[in-house]
Copies of this chain bind each other. A is one copy, B any other.
């Protein structure tokens, strides 16, 4: 972790997405006081590691993170990508120790709320927002599940782009210019396909004029055509 900055929930652009979503100004100040600071991580830095004590609840404030789990054979498997406003690191609450690791994909700031502060947060009025975050998390995971039930690489990838676009749009961004700071290797792993499959599918889509890639930015040119190959359940609508 590089440094910490004051939480400043009242001026945080992510406030309407996270635990603060239902709060008024006075409550926002109370929340910021409880949370204290947000921590800033450089790309590649770990937010927590497998085995660390789960004594905090994490929410991405800006940037992006990935969570990875180690398979018995020692390879790492990407279990999730998380962007601004998303809660992560919930798996450890059962045992009190993390079952996965989380690391920043880009310069990323994260609000880390102490579990011991949660009762106070409920009294401030965050309980409803927490339920909503849980509901959203469940929805995202369910849609990922449906994505993975598609067998064709083309369909998985298209569904991923559409889902990510939709999430990004809800965060106030553009659904056609996607911020995806992960490597293709990670994405392939996450989508349950080989790097070669992903590369080929991406090439085909690019050649077909469906999208272009410029570093971490994927630009979707013809979302309708993407929807056509995504099969069922690409979007929540």
Contacts and interface: CB of A to CB of B under 8 A. Distances in A.
Contact of A139 (B99, B137, B146): B99
Contact of A134 (B72, B79, B90, B122): B90
Contacts of A94: 132, 135-136, 139
A71, A142, A151 — most chain B CB neighbours (10 Å): A142
A131 B90 CA distance: 8
A70 to B, nearest CB: 10
A75 B205 CA distance: 27
B192 A135 contact: no
B232 A77 contact: yes
Interface in A40-73: 54, 69, 71-73
Contacts of A175: none
Contacts of A151: 192
A100 B233 CA distance: 13
B91 A146 contact: no
B93 A134 contact: yes
Contacts of A90: 134-135, 138
Contact of A145 (B92, B93, B145, B237): B145
29 contacts: A69-B142, A69-B146, A71-B233, A72-B237, A75-B232, A77-B233, A79-B142, A79-B145, A90-B134, A91-B135, A93-B134, A93-B135, A94-B132, A94-B139, A95-B135, A99-B139, A100-B142, A118-B127, A119-B127, A134-B134, A138-B141, A141-B141, A141-B145, A145-B148, A148-B148, A148-B192, A149-B189, A150-B192, A151-B192
Interface residues of A, number: 45
A144 interface: yes
B127 A72 contact: no
B146 A149 contact: no
Contacts of A150: 192
Contacts of A69: 142, 146, 233
A142 B91 contact: yes
A129 to B, nearest CB: 10
A34 to B, nearest CB: 16
Contacts of A139: 91, 94, 99
